[in-house]
A and B are shown apart, each in its own frame.
Chain A
Amino acid sequence: MLDLEGEALRDQVIALCARGVDRPLEDAVFDALARRIFAFQFERNGPYAAYCRRRGRTPDDVAHWSEIPAVPTAAFKEVRLVAGRVEAAEAVFRTSGTTRAERRGEHYLLDVTAYHAALLAGFAGYVLPDRAELPLLSLVPPGQQMTDSSLAHMVAVLVERVGAQGSAHYADVQRGIDDDALAAALRRFTDGRTPVCLLGTSLAFLHWLDRLRARGERFRLPAGSRLMDTGGFKGRRREVPAEELRSAYQELVGVPGSHVVNEYGMTELSSQAYDAGLRDWHAGVSGRSPRKLAPPWMRVLVADPETLEVARPGAVGILRLVDLANLSSVVAVQTEDLGGEVEDGFVVLGRATGAPPRGCSIAMDLLLSAVEERR
């Protein structure tokens, strides 16, 4: 639950989300709200305030939203970043963590309505730019089975609030994907000429496609069908380039590359960015660079990894996101991803941590996971 001031800010954020993603937001409007939210969080969150003071950036010093100190995602593992009492949180999401020994990040949401408004508007704008009403078929287990997972929560909200008739989850925490039920559903929708939208992690899709290939099974989903995948292959031995996955979607499911939308989201944020491709396709624009777009209420900054100042245009650096919907935690988050600005969006170019050493010294991630295996 938010306090009164928080509720007032929340209503403004919800109103912004309600405008959708089509109309750009003036920088002055974004800036004013971002700085008010920053001040709101600064007053209520001790660790964040301490972090900002150490950098000499209190609400009095910050003249523009780009100067708001961004909290690294690693911080969510160490301290509680919440603008209020933890007990008042309506939801808490936790990062998965690649090893058991690793502490998990925690994101407390005092109010889920701003989060819901942001995720619904973003999905509508980037995955359903044609306003299609589609059955959503989820390869993510139902939210109540994974209460820690922001992705499961998000997909559950989408299935419930956006999904047309026939929307359902085809995965279970214990049993994984129900291949037979999913296949039956895909055949049914194909026969009925009803386009659908598949949702899942890239890893879940990858394994499912492997099984389809092994069984010699393939689908040709009706035109207008699409697929949203998310997440890379962090900490996994097997890495599959996005292009390879895309051609497998085309080959085995019949969803063309134009209709594959990769979502870029994380536990520590409330809004999501998405591939621009489907939006471009719907607008009849071709030849634009592959890139991700953030909704108007979230902005992207690229920080120079050497100085942590805003990087020069076009440079590769650490991605920072200023997300107005992150109202009850921290409005500015520094990710562990490298990327750069491209046209009106950005690209993600890999992880900023555990850069592989150049030879016989040891990669931190690998070493930690090896130790984990021994336990």
Chain B
Amino acid sequence: MIRADAFHLPALDLDRVTGWDVRRFGDEVELRTPLLDASLLEGVLERLRAARARALADRPVAELVDIIDRAAGRLADERDPLRRQAEGALPAITGYSPPMVRLIVERMARDWRADALHALLAAELGDARVLDGLRPDPAAAGRHRRAYGPELAFHVFAGNVPGVAVTSLVRSLLVKAATLGKTASGEPLLAALFARALAEVDQRLGECLAVTYWPGGTEALERLALESADLVVVYGGEETVAALRGRMPAGKRLVVHGPRLSFGVIGRESLGREQARHVAARAARAVAVFDQQGCVSPHVLYVERGGGLQPDDFAALLAEELARLEEDLPRGRLSPAEAAAIQHARSAAEFRGMAGRTVRLFASSGTEYTVLYDDDPALTPSCLNRVVWVKPLEDLFDLADLVRPFAGRLQTAAAATTPERLARLAEALGRVGISRITDLERMPWPPVTWHHDGQEPLRELIRWVDLEV
């Protein structure tokens, strides 16, 4: 049994804590968080703000990058006890298989290393030192500019992909915001471990960061956090976002990463005998990573007709590749409801086939993977956990109209086609609201500098000051 503290509350007055929330995940993991009340949380928030004035506000950004890099280095190091704790506990907590947890932590940690952070700062701010003081503004001769982050930020995390919370904390620290992160019940650990690593590298910076869990919707705590913070960042489903939005004090900035849908598209020129196998393998991996729980995960793969392989044959190939992935990247553990949703999707497809539509099912004998081929090209969301639709396209450029009904909720489109067609496709998809167009291999792993949901994640956190001389 792994027992761990799923919080980092350097400013908490432990003597005043009257109770603990202890949650067990199977027989393997037990996580502990203190039960907070509004007065305890108020103390935490006040001390976060004070610590920022002491240890963060005037710290050069290059130094922050260095500290974050060293903390991330611990999570990137397989031999480090914190990394081992994460790898040991996250499978039981999240349901992801151990190889999946390893892959996710490994890949996500790259985004928190110095080179990635420098790239991020450069991409969004040009000159990162605008966070440290007035710098010449290249846009106007004689003008200087300076960027300020919020003094105190409140982040509300989702539990689907471990590491996303850490990325969010890192962005917040880079703009010198003291930060309170509220974790999700589905993944309360990694952000707390990162915070602890950070505090061990630099205790003073560690005092500017707090991570803990309480059940979402706990009115007294959330009202206080929303009122105290200068800026709020929220990740989550429709209802979580709507509930928080409704309680936001007027005039305060809210950064939302709400639910999104992604898909893949394969042009006929990528369906030659040799190539189709490679494409299917990459598509299978894009489906498998995060067990489709990521906003970057594809729900549907569109396959253009007229290539070396017909769309339904591609579906069969995709299923073979998903079966192969069960070996080295097994699907995680499901709740009864999740497994039942897969059975439901399969049987609904079977009867759609009986009703005379062209529907084919390629699936494991258990619920491990499911490929549903359906002649109807309408974009259909999946119930996730490696259930993917394959749908035919008469022509690649029919795609924009098919996904248009979901505009505003679309995110990544991964395409396998020629550079010429890709450019034209990207133009059309950009118009209907896709914010990222990539290839199947890169699909699950957006680069650190991406325009997350079409935005600029650092610039969203800061405000500018211009000095005109």
Which B residue sits closest to A362, measured CB to CB?
A: B259
Given contacts A72-B347, A361-B259, A366-B238, contact A355 B406 (CB under 8 A): no
CA distance A141 to B347 in the complex (A): 34
CB-based closest 7 A-B pairs: A359-B160, A359-B158, A352-B340, A305-B339, A355-B337, A362-B259, A74-B348
Asked if A79 and B355 make an inter-chain contact with CB atoms under 8 angstroms apart, the answer reads yes
Most buried by B among A75, A356, A361: A361
A78–B348 touching, CB < 8 Å: yes
A355-B186 in contact given A305-B336, A317-B336, A360-B295 (Cβ < 8 Å): no
In the complex the two chains form, is B354's CB within 8 Å of A78's CB? yes
Complex contact B354–A362 (CB within 8 A):
no
Of A215-223, A283-291, A367-375, the segment with at least 4 beta carbons within 8 Å of chain B is: A367-375
Is the C-beta of A50 less than 8 angstroms from some C-beta in chain B? yes
Residues of A within 8 A of B12 (CB): none
Q: How far is the CA of A334 from the CA of B239 in the complex (A)?
A: 29
Residues in A122-143 with C-beta less than 8 Å from chain B = none
Contact of B354 among A47, A72, A308 (CB under 8 A): A47
CB-CB nearest in chain B for A307: B366
State the CA gap A27–B187 with chains docked (Å). Answer: 47
Bound Cα distance from A363 to B237, whole angstroms: 8
Asked if B159 CB lies within 8 Å of chain A CBs, one says: yes
In the complex, per-residue mask of B359-386: 1 if CB is within 8 Å of any chain A CB, else 0: 0000000110000000000000111100
**A353 contact from B355, B382, B383, Cβ within 8 A:** B383
How far in angstroms is the closest Cβ of chain A from B328?
21
**Given the contacts A72-B348, A362-B260, A366-B238, A355 and B354 also touching, CB distance less than 8 Å:** no
Residues of A within 8 A of B186 (CB): 358-359
Is the beta-carbon distance between B160 and A360 smaller than 8 angstroms? yes
Inter-chain contacts of A314 with B (CB < 8 A): none
Could you tell me the distance in whole angstroms from the C-beta of B394 to the nearest C-beta in chain A?
Answer: 22
**Residues in chain B near residue A351, CB distance under 8 A:** 337
User: Given A363-B259, A364-B382, do A358 and B160 touch, yes or no (CB 8 Å)?
Assistant: yes
Q: Assuming A237-B239, A305-B337, A334-B347, what are 20 further A-B pairs, CB within 8 angstroms?
A: A47-B351, A54-B350, A72-B347, A74-B348, A75-B348, A78-B352, A306-B334, A318-B343, A354-B383, A358-B158, A359-B184, A359-B235, A360-B235, A360-B237, A360-B257, A361-B260, A361-B384, A362-B381, A362-B409, A371-B405
Asked if B344 is an interface residue, CB under 8 A from chain A, the answer is yes
Asked whether any CB of chain B lies closer than 8 Å to the CB of A31, the reply is no
| Contact A360–B236 (Cβ < 8 Å) | yes
Q: How far is the CA of A51 from the CA of B348 in the complex (A)?
A: 12
Residues from chain B with Cβ under 8 Å of A355 in the complex: 335, 337-338, 340-341, 383
Question: A336: CB under 8 A from chain B?
Answer: yes
Q: For the complex, is B307 an interface residue (Cβ under 8 Å from A)?
A: no
A338 within 8 A of B: yes
Residue of A nearest to B383 (CB): A364
| 15 examples of A-B residue contacts, CB within 8 angstroms | A50-B354, A51-B350, A51-B351, A75-B348, A317-B340, A352-B340, A355-B340, A358-B159, A359-B159, A360-B295, A361-B261, A361-B293, A361-B294, A362-B260, A362-B295
When chains A and B are docked, how far (Å) is the Cα of A371 from the Cα of B384? Answer: 19
Taking a contact as CB atoms under 8 Å apart, the answer to whether B293 and A359 are in contact is yes
Do A306 and B236 touch (CB < 8 A)?
no
> CB distance B337 to A360 under 8 Å?
no
A357 at interface (Cβ–Cβ under 8 A)? yes
Whether, in the assembled complex, B258 has its beta carbon less than 8 Å from a beta carbon of chain A, the answer is: yes
Q: How many residues of B contact A (CB 8 A)?
A: 50
B403 to chain A minimum Cβ distance, whole angstroms, is 11
Set B294, B367, B409: member contacting A367, Cβ < 8 A: B409
Tell yes or no: B297 within 8 A of A by CB.
yes
Q: Are B406 and A367 in contact (CB under 8 A)?
A: yes
| Pair A51/B409 contact, Cβ less than 8 Å | no
B259 touches A366 (CB 8 A): yes
Q: Which of A78, A306, A358 contacts B355 (CB 8 A)?
A: A78
In the complex, A350 has a CB within 8 A of chain B = yes
Number of A-B contacts (CB under 8 A): 152
Determine whether the beta carbon of B381 is less than 8 Å from that of A367: yes
Instruction: Give the interface size class of chain A.
Output: 35 or more
In chain A, positions 26-79 with a C-beta closer than 8 Å to chain B are: 47, 50-51, 54, 72, 74-75, 77-79
Structural contact, A359 and B354, CB atoms closer than 8 A = no
- Assess whether B336 is in contact with A361, with CB atoms less than 8 Å apart: no
Q: Does B292 contact A (CB under 8 A)?
A: yes
Q: Mark B401-412, 1 if CB is under 8 A from A, else 0.
A: 000011001000
Residues in B whose Cβ lies below 8 Å from that of A361? 160, 259-261, 292-295, 297, 384
- Give B291 Cβ to nearest chain A Cβ, in Å: 10
**Bound CA–CA A5/B258 (angstroms):** 57
Contact B344 A74 (CB under 8 A): yes
Is B340 touching A75 in the complex (CB atoms < 8 A)? no
- Chain B residues within an 8 Å CB radius of A358: 158-160, 184, 186-187, 293
Given contacts A360-B158, A360-B160, A361-B295, contact A72 B336 (CB under 8 A): no
Chain A residues within 8 Å of B209, by CB: none
Q: Can you name the residue of chain B whose Cβ is closest to the Cβ of A371?
A: B405
Least CB separation from B453: chain A residue: A360
Chain B nearest Cβ from A313, distance in angstroms: 15
Q: How far is the CA of A144 from the CA of B6 in the complex (A)?
A: 59
> Does any Cβ of A come within 8 Å of B161's Cβ?
yes
Q: Is the CB of A338 within 8 A of B336?
A: yes
Chain A residues near B257 (CB, 8 Å)? Answer: 360
Question: Quick check: is A316 within 8 A (CB to CB) of the other chain?
Answer: yes
B135 to chain A, nearest CB (A): 34
Asked whether A338 and B337 contact (CB < 8 A) given A47-B354, A371-B406, the answer is yes
Q: How far is the CA of A78 from the CA of B376 in the complex (A)?
A: 14
Q: Which residues of A contact B293 (CB under 8 A)?
A: 357-359, 361
Q: Which residues of B contact A363 (CB under 8 A)?
A: 237-238, 259
Which of A305, A357, A360 is close to B340, meaning CB atoms less than 8 Å apart?
A: A305
Closest residue of A by beta carbon distance from B185: A358
Question: Contacting B381 at CB < 8 Å: which of A54, A306, A338, A368?
Answer: A368
The chain A residue with its CB closest to the CB of B357 is: A78
CB-based contact A353/B235 at 8 Å: no
CB-CB nearest in chain B for A75: B351
B260, A360: Cβ atoms closer than 8 Å: yes
Contact B159 A370 (CB under 8 A): no
Give every chain B residue within 8 A of A317 (Cβ-Cβ). 336, 340
- Nearest Cβ on chain A to B156's Cβ, whole angstroms: 11
**Contact across chains for B295 and A350 when beta carbons are under 8 A apart:** no
Say yes or no: A72 contacts B344, CB within 8 Å. Answer: yes
For the complex, give the distance between the alpha carbons of A262 and B342 in Å: 29
Contacts A305-B339, A355-B341, A374-B405; is A79 near B259 (CB within 8 Å)? no
By beta carbon, the residue of chain B nearest A334 is: B347
Q: In the bound complex, what is the Cα–Cα distance between A362 and B350 (angstroms)?
A: 24
